[in-house]
Amino acid sequence: MTQNPPDLRPDLAPRARIGAADARPGQPRIGMVSLGCPKALVDSERILTRLRAEGYAISPDYSGADAVIVNTCGFLDSAKAESLEAIGEALAENGRVIVTGCLGAEEDYIRGAHPSVLAVTGPHQYEQVLDAVHDAVPPSPDPYVDLIPAQGVRLTPRHYAYLKISEGCNHACRFCIIPSMRGKLASRPASAVLREAERLVDAGVREILVISQDTSAYGVDLRHAASPWRGAEWRAHLTDLARGLGSLGAWVRLHYIYPYPHVDDVIPLMAEGLITPYLDIPFQHAAPSVLRAMRRPANEAKVLERIARWRGICPDITLRSTFIVGFPGETEDDFRHLLDWMEEARLDRVGCFKYENVAGATANDLPDHLPEEVKEERWHRFMEVARRISADRLAAKVGRRMPVIVDEVDEEGATCRTQADAPEIDGNLFIDEGFDGLAPGDIVEVEVEEADDYDLWGRRV
């Protein structure tokens, strides 16, 4: 069992888990490499579900695949390089490669590096991906054999699932190119989201992770129109959605929450135990001048007041965030302001990026870019403050009892998570003794016995 590293990338989804599956004679097989964030992982699941429905088998490796789909990330230049490397590996190992995802919006860039790819499609262009697969490997369906589960094909462990409620974003942050890649906000009707969540829970999912580019803005484009589910009308609005999801009996974890005023209305639902007391809010910075340069709201004092109110209503709430250090024009005073804000906010879980240019982002043209050594030095200083705060907050949990969900069990013990921990990006709670009979997806009560900077140890009670 491994402990949670302090510099884990907060933008990455868990590694896609594609198990070996028997294929009938003559059944075409497709491989999938899924890169990037949880939203891209959901796209991969949807593509594979459609392919399974059309008679394709899913190959867990290159050698057994008739073609390979690479779902790329294009959020950062380092992510683009990783995507090109993955495409090159798939070409070398298989030779028949279809590219999709965020980097697919830059076809010339991809073909400049890998001209032999079969096709290139952009993000959430499911029909174009299927067309490309059909051209490369014609389908051969057998309606009596090629059945898919009601919840579709999933690339996460059976006990948790990502639930994407919208696409796109209406913000114009200078460091981000998501709106140009994925478009403006496009929300799903509440009934569609709730029905999908219901199917997931019926299939054994114990934890639902709600994702989008801007979860708080959910339904704005639909004018919060209501739609029917379980005999009632449910608005396409964050609070209605949280109530509906909370009624299903699974842990419900909210990611990518922008701190709009109506987020305050979700906190009492956490205090009631209806949804998991956890908010993932990408604050990005705290210095007003940097936030203005980023085109983010510059109201950090009121944010601190709201955090205090949230903790007053729901003392067990966990706050996770990500920050960018070294943004163009960030002064030493700006950075110290951020550190001081961190000391006061006492966030539970924190990730941090060193700023880097992204092709197409308007931040590239800002003056006063910082040297790499300054970004590196500030990143280490930031992470040291975050580490110390994390250690203090975890130490306060020693002696407390709390529910945990089991992720893995091996001969050394059980790797679990508390309600304060999202998969892969946060910490773990380890059970080293008395773990016999535990299985992934079990939710059990533990008493915390030990803490370090990022993880906990406990015993079953």
Given the structure tokens 């993932």, which residue do they identify? 280
Strand pairing category for 119-120 and 160-164:
unpaired
What type of residue is 5? P
Residue 416 marked in a binding site: no
Cβ-based neighbour number of residue 445 at 10 Å = 11
Q: Bin 204: left if φ > 0, else alpha if -120 < ψ < 50, else beta.
A: left
> Could you give the residue ranges of the DSSP H alpha helices within 137-287?
178-182, 190-202, 238-246, 267-271
Beta strands across the sheet bearing 207-211: 160-164, 207-211, 251-254, 278-280, 318-325, 349-354
Residue 314 marked in a binding site: no
DSSP run (H or E) holding 448: strand 443-451
Positive or negative: CA dihedral 323, 328, 332, 337: negative
With vertex at residue 294, the alpha carbon angle to CA 288 and CA 300, rounded to the nearest 5 degrees, is 30
End-to-end CA distance of the chain: 22
Q: Token pair of 439, please?
A: 């299985």
Residue 352 marked in a binding site: no
- Cβ–Cβ under 8 Å, residues 389 and 342: yes
Residue 37 marked in a binding site: yes
- As annotated, the binding site for [4Fe-4S] cluster includes 37, 73, 102, 169, 173, 176
Residue ranges for the known binding site are 37, 73, 102, 169, 173, 176
